[in-house]
Amino acid sequence: MARPRTLKNSLENVSVDWNEVEATLNPMNAETRGRLVLKAFAEQYGIWPVEARKILSENYGNTIEFRRGRTGGVYKAPQTSP
């Protein structure tokens, strides 16, 4: 039998500082180089990474992309010209 998942903060109680997220996603930021680590973001707000991904995709839509692997994380999606 599977173990029940421990509770973390609910999404209603989370207040994300979007200005900080925007500054982190800025590719000109020398410290982060435009990379937001999803696990660190989730731990900062006390939520699960799946919920953090949902919050980010709801707020940013197609303007961000999620990458996997060693250099993975959340990045601004490259802009395509029409």
pLDDT digits (tens, 9 = 90+) for 25-75: 998 988 889 999 999 999 998 888 999 999 999 999 999 999 999 888 999
SS3 7: coil
Q: What is the mean pLDDT of residues 20-27?
A: 91
Residue 54, domain extent: 36-64
Element (H, E) at 30: none
Evaluate whether residue 31 is within a structural domain: no
* The predicted structure's pLDDT at residue 81: 63
Q: Is the pLDDT of residue 82 over 80?
A: no
Evaluate whether residue 8 is within a structural domain: no
Inter-residue contact 35 to 47 (CB < 8 Å):
no
Prediction pTM value: 0.79
SS3 70: coil
Evaluate whether residue 6 is within a structural domain: no
Where do we find the tokens 């180089």? 33
Element (H, E) at 59: helix 49-60
Partner residues linked to 66 by β-bridges: 74
Q: How many domains does the chain have?
A: 1
* The predicted structure's pLDDT at residue 14: 81
Evaluate whether residue 79 is within a structural domain: no
What does the chain come to in residues? 82
